[in-house]
């Protein structure tokens, strides 16, 4: 049973089918002028149009294809802070993905002022605190739509409103990588100026993503070279990956409500059975709005690493911390920012359901967890 969809998802058949020709006979470089290249170019631009439509009917040229969510985050944060040769400020939150926090740390070392806003004990960002950190030197605000570890949904729309009230020209970026599969991710819904998505989080291939950039937002490229993507991201396009991601986006949007209904019921059933069997289990941020596919919890006295090894032996794949720490369990910066002590954090595990989840998986997962915990206790 695979319950680590927040790390990566199985590829949807629609994506694999769409990619197949571009891994074989349609191998052209879309930057060329001859027919082979133009066939690849047409596929690339078709994928761009599809992605733009799925994000709310924005202009296709506002879509920048990248090598994944981390690159998109780097381009949004570094690109805005360093645009036009400037060294301007970044405002972000302590629970952001490492790609955002490391980018902020990088530009800080180059002389850009950086403000990192804290969160509540449940991991929620206060829009007032974000807006208070914005000043005349701020180049970008970056707050994720939903946390990759806890699943907590941030008040992005309210953050945008507060920031724009202070400084209308400051662009707001959101990493919506975890949200797309079960929530509406559109420019109208979120109100932001830049959106990060990653193909492998909703059934597309790994190693491809996008950054939607509202027209007028200036970015210094993170990758320099041949000037592809209107100079915003150089490098030969991964046509097969981009086509596959667009097909996965279409499939995810088409099945979003049905997937949401299934995983919500399965997650809720899983947590209900878990807490009934182990009343001392603590579900993280249970009183906050969370992604329906995430279940993050700890069972006092049971180390996450030990539990995950037993579950893996039983055929259930889950995770501790974020995906970037898989295989090397570290205390999560997200949990530390929430004020959780080290011992409690070492007990936290994350189960993330997804588009392959089936009714009844909650009961099966709860039974396996119960058996593993019973043997440990």
List, in order, residues 6 or more apart from 46 with CB less than 8 Å away: 243, 246
Burial class, 226, CB count within 10 angstroms (exposed 0-12 / middle 13-18 / buried 19+)? exposed
CA distances in angstroms from 163 to 92, 215, 292, listed in the order given: 12, 19, 28
Residue from 294, 268, 260 nearest 150 by CA: 294
Number of H helices, E strands in the chain: 12, 10
Burial class, 132, CB count within 10 angstroms (exposed 0-12 / middle 13-18 / buried 19+)? middle
Q: Are 243 and 103 in contact (CB under 8 A)?
A: no
Phi, psi of 295 (to 5 degrees): -135, 110
Q: Are 229 and 210 in contact (CB under 8 A)?
A: no
Q: Are 171 and 221 in contact (CB under 8 A)?
A: no
Catalytic position from the list 94, 102, 166, 324: 324
Could you give the angle at which helices 35-54 and 239-277 cross, rounded to 10 degrees? Answer: 30
List, in order, residues 6 or more apart from 27 with CB less than 8 Å away: 36, 40
Is-catalytic flag, 348? no
Structure tokens at 169: 């020209």
Using alpha carbons only, how large is the chain's radius of gyration in Å?
21
Q: Please identify every residue annotated as catalytic.
A: 324
């Amino acid at each position: 049973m695979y319950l680590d969809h927040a790390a990566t998802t199985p590829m949807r058949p629609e994506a694999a089918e769409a990619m197949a020709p571009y891994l074989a006979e349609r191998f052209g470089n879309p930057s060329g002028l001859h027919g082979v290249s133009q066939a690849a170019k047409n596929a690339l631009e078709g994928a761009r149009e599809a992605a733009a439509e799925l994000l709310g009917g924005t202009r296709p040229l506002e879509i920048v294809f990248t090598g994944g969510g981390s690159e998109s985050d780097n381009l949004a944060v570094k690109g805005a802070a360093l645009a036009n040769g400037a060294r301007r400020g970044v405002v972000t939150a302590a629970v952001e993905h490492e790609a955002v926090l490391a980018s902020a740390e990088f530009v800080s070392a180059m002389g850009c002022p950086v403000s990192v806003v804290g969160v509540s004990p449940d991991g929620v960002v206060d829009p007032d605190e974000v807006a208070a950190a914005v000043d005349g030197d701020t180049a970008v605000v970056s707050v994720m739509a939903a946390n990759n570890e806890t699943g907590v949904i941030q008040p992005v729309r309210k953050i945008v409103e507060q920031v724009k009230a202070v400084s209308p020209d400051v662009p707001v970026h959101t990493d919506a990588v975890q949200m797309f599969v079960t929530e509406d991710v559109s420019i109208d819904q979120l109100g932001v100026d830049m959106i990060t998505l990653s193909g492998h989080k909703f059934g597309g291939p790994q190693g491809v993503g996008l950054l939607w950039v509202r027209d007028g937002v200036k970015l210094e490229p993170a990758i320099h070279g041949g000037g592809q993507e209107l100079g915003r991201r150089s490098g030969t396009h991964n046509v097969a990956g981009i086509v596959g991601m667009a097909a996965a986006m279409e499939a995810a949007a088409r099945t979003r409500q049905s997937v949401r209904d299934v995983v919500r019921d399965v997650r809720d059933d899983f947590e209900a059975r878990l807490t009934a069997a182990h009343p001392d289990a603590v579900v993280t941020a249970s009183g906050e709005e969370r992604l329906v596919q995430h279940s993050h919890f700890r069972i006092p006295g049971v180390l996450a690493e030990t539990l995950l090894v037993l579950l893996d032996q039983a055929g259930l794949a889950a995770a501790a911390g974020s995906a970037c720490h898989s295989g090397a369990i570290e205390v999560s910066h997200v949990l530390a920012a929430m004020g959780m002590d080290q011992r409690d954090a070492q007990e936290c595990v994350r189960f993330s359901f997804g588009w392959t989840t089936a009714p009844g998986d909650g009961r099966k997962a709860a039974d396996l967890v119960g058996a593993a915990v019973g043997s440990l206790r």
